[in-house]
Amino acid sequence: DAGVIQSPRHEVTEMGQEVTLRCKPISGHNSLFWYRQTMMRGLELLIYFNNNVPIDDSGMPEDRFSAKMPNASFSTLKIQPSEPRDSAVYFCASRSSGRALGNEQFFGPGTRLTVL
Amino acid sequence: QKEVEQNSGPLSVPEGAIASLNCTYSDRGSQSFFWYRQYSGKSPELIMFIYSNGDKEDGRFTAQLNKASQYVSLLIRDSQPSDSATYLCAASNFGNEKLTFGTGTRLTIIP
């Protein structure tokens, strides 16, 4: 079974450009998470969805960031306009939700974003 | 103050010795705790989770939880060079899927 799929794997863009990151969760998982990882701040949760509905977007840094999940098998994270401080690795993770205490989040390979 | 704190390291341990990784958390509502391993340039992968006070063993790995002290640890016995990675501690509240991660401890096993 395929794991979480993210695209692109690497993105280099110039300041001011729009960036769209894509994620396909594991089939059957109904929770999806977007994280950003930097050396300074570590792994930070940006937003997560349950059954395609955004549940918590308190980690989204500012209005330049937006995320959508139009269906159970696809999500996007958009940055418009991008800035150099957005440079980071962006991970998508998915999980089979429920009340089980140990339900694991499975991470995708990440997208390394560089904004020049 | 971050909700989940870890010593960033680097922590160097001789091959075959026990590596001890520590984590503290500030939210007393935290119920479940997770240890993820992340190799350089790769994504995090789950090693263990624990939600009851005490020890939980899985092969060479032992997770320890002390809720009174708000302290979680991971012990790696018979350390191998392949254990060299960054170890991330994470916490979640019951019924809340959100994980709060520490910044990670970089572990190096010296052959």
**Residue stretches of chain B with pLDDT short of 70:** 1, 95
Beta bridge partners of A95: A31
- Cα(B26)–Cα(A67) distance, integer angstroms: 29
pLDDT of residue A101: 62
pLDDT of residue B7: 85
At which residue do the structure tokens 């989940």 appear? Answer: B4
**pLDDT (tens digit per residue) in B3-26:** 899 987 899 999 999 999 999 999
- Cα(A80)–Cα(B22) distance, integer angstroms: 39
pLDDT of residue A33: 96
Distance (Å) from the C-alpha of residue B104 to the closest C-alpha of chain A?
7
Distance (Å) from the C-alpha of residue A98 to the closest C-alpha of chain B?
8
Cross-chain residue pair A101–B95, CB shorter than 8 Å: no
Give the Cα-Cα-Cα angle B23, B27, B30 (nearest 5 degrees): 80
Average pLDDT over residues A39-53: 93
pLDDT of residue B61: 97
Q: What is the DSSP letter of B53?
A: S
